[in-house]
Amino acid sequence: MAQSNAKKKPVGAMIVMGIISIALYTTLLLKQDLISSTFARGGWYALLPIIMAFVFSYFHGSFTGNFWTVLGIEAARKKKEIK
Amino acid sequence: MDIMTNFINLDAITILYLFGVGFVGGLVSGFIGSGGAFVLTPGMMSLGVPGLVAVASNMCHKFPKALVGAMKRAKYGQVDLKLGIVLGISAEAGVLYGAHIQEKIKAAFGDAGSNLYVSVAFVVILALVGGFVLRDAWRTYKSGNMDTKEKAGKLALWIQSINIPGTMVYFKSINARVSVLFTIPLGLATGMLAATIAVGGFIGVPAMIYVLGAPSLMASATELVIAFVMGLGGSLKFAMHGLVDIRLAMIILAGSLFGIQLGAIGTTYVKPFMIKVVMGLIMVIVLFSRGLMVPVYLAQLGLIDKLGEGTVKLLKNTSFAIMIFALLLGAFIVLRAMWMGRQAERLQHASGALEHGEV
């Protein structure tokens, strides 16, 4: 889908966030035994999966948001709040 | 402290499967505020993940997904943060109470009793609420008033008219003051449903629309705030017992963050009644899926004659296939509505007839 306005696309931000996101997921999968067993120890270790969820959602969320923008898929250019 | 050591092995196919279901679930959640969990939890269990780990891991992907979705939809002016937090806190209490009831039922009637309770709750609630939502969407469609501003119904207007001193709070989505004595039971019901069938939004969103008088788009966006509050508390509770398989949660999150962004964008292209169409359709289809499982659990409890192994397998597979169909249909409607909205916008732009407001 092509972009119909001339707004600058966040290609740089998408690439940076994408690289960080891939690095996070690669680390998780390569060290999965250590990470999943540590994170499932319960008690105070419960904070680890919560922190990880926030960190992943920040980087991967920024990447996916920019990904659709770069593809030209953006919100409709009409009034923002429908009430 | 329960420490789960039987986490499944992940291969490329499993990762792709979780990513794909996460994407479709996220797409629907971004649009109607919830959904996906009813396929993700049984989907993980079909891979050999123990039930509680599946529920816990689903919840641990839900709160970051809901956070990203809520932030995206807040940019479009669709989120009522105050209403989301007020309902979210009471929903958290509802989750704890709902889980307590589940434990009691499981202790008294075993796994089959617990499953029967969940299925009956699914069927009854989805039939009542889903039927009502779908009927309302159909009426709007038939009346041809799809473009007109949504108005609060009689029940919502009555609730808005009641003044209980010391409990009144102004909510921007409703544009009125409502007593928290009305919002608290709604939050509790949302949380109890989330603890029972994993999709609290099937109560939360219709409650905000029909009981409080919020517009559909704001109700579905605000549900994401509720899902975040509920999901965060629930994940912490499960993680304290070592039940979260962080790999599953993060892989599903990888797909669902692509989906939720797209679903949120989709809401800006559609007429508000489409939220009701998608939600109502999914609810009614899922109702049939769960209804198929009722005889299986009744037979396990000895309340009806024993079913053959082949029959049980057929019912289970059909039930799961119908659930996947519900989710895919929801995703298809969202994508189609978005595509058509974009085409219409492009045509308008091209003809220079772009009449309305802000860019």
Q: Does B156 touch chain A (CB under 8 A)?
A: no
What is the model's pLDDT at position B353? 59
Indicate whether B249 belongs to any domain: yes
- Chain B residues 27-66 with CB within 8 Å of chain A: 60-61, 63-65
pLDDT reading at A4 higher than 80:
no
Residue B41 pLDDT greater than 90, yes or no:
no
Query: Does A4 sit within 8 Å of B254, measured CB to CB?
Result: no
* Residues of chain A by 3-state class (helix, strand, coil), percent to 5: 65, 0, 35
Query: How many structural domains are present in chain B?
Result: 1
Domain limits at B201?
A: 12-350
| pLDDT over threshold 90, residue A18 | yes
Residues 6+ apart with CB under 8 A from B322: B285, B286, B288, B289, B292
Angle (deg, nearest 10), helices B37-45 and B12-32: 160
Q: What is the pLDDT of residues B97-129, one digit of tens each?
A: 888 888 888 888 888 888 888 888 888 988 999
The interaxial angle of helices B37-45 and B309-350, nearest 10 deg, is 140
Q: What is the ipTM of this complex?
A: 0.89
Which letter does DSSP use for residue B46 in this model?
T
Chain B 212-241, residues with CB within 8 Å of chain A CB atoms: 215, 217-218, 232, 235-236, 239-241
Torsion of CA B92, B97, B102, B105, to 10 degrees: -170
Residue B35 contacts residue B199 (beta carbons within 8 Å): yes
Averaged over A4-13, what is the pLDDT? Answer: 77
Quick: pLDDT tens for B149-175.
788 889 999 999 999 999 999 999 999
**pLDDT-based confidence at B357, cuts 50/70/90?**
low
Nearest to A68 among B261, B356, B357 (CB): B261
Cβ of A49 under 8 Å from any chain B Cβ?
A: yes
Mean pLDDT for all residues in chain B: 89
Give the pLDDT score at B155.
Answer: 93
Which chain B residue is nearest to residue A37, measuring alpha carbons? B5
- Which of B20-37 are b and which e, b meaning 16 or more Cβ less than 10 Å from the residue's Cβ? ebbbbbbbbbbbbbbbbb
In a domain, B235, yes or no: yes
B254 Cβ under 8 Å from any chain A Cβ:
yes
- In single-letter form, the type of residue at position B232 comes to L
In a domain, B357, yes or no: no
Interchain pair A65, B265: CB under 8 A: no
Enumerate residues 6+ apart whose C-beta is below 8 A from B67: A54, A57, A61, B224, B228
Residue of B nearest to A48 (CA): B239
User: Coil, strand, or helix at residue B171?
Assistant: strand
CA-nearest of B129, B229, B216 to B173 is B216
Confidence of residue B246 (pLDDT cuts 50, 70, 90): very high
Contacts 24+ apart (CB under 8 A), B145-154: B146/B271, B146/B273, B147/B271, B149/A83, B149/B215, B150/A83, B150/B215, B150/B216, B150/B272, B150/B273, B152/B213, B153/B210, B153/B213
Residue B355, in any domain of the structure: no
Of A49, A74, A80, which is closest to B249 when you measure between CB atoms?
Answer: A49
Would you call A64 and B242 a contact, using CB atoms and an 8 Å cutoff?
no
Q: Mutation target for A interface from B5, B246, B339, B358: give the one with most A CBs within 10 A.
A: B246
Which pLDDT belongs to residue B6?
61
Asked whether residue B359 carries a pLDDT value surpassing 50, the answer given is no
Tell whether A71 lies on the interface with B, counting CB pairs under 8 A. Answer: no
The phi-psi region of residue B213 (left if phi > 0; otherwise alpha if psi is between -120 and 50; otherwise beta) is left
> How many whole angstroms separate alpha carbon B226 and alpha carbon B67?
10
Inter-chain touch B246–A49, beta carbons under 8 Å: yes
Give A82's pLDDT tier (boundaries 50, 70, 90). Answer: very low
pLDDT, tens digit, 9 for 90 and up, residues A34-55:
999 899 898 899 999 999 999 9
A53-76 confidence digits (pLDDT tens): 999 999 999 999 999 999 999 998
Q: How far is A26 from chain B (nearest CA, A)?
A: 11
Q: Which two tokens stand for residue B9?
A: 């092995």
B contacts of A43 (beta carbons < 8 Å): 1, 240
pLDDT score at B355: 58
pTM of the model: 0.90
Question: Rounded to an integer, what distance in angstroms lies between the CA atom of residue B12 and that of residue B31?
Answer: 29
What is the 8-class DSSP label of residue B304?
S
Contact B263/A at CB under 8 A = no
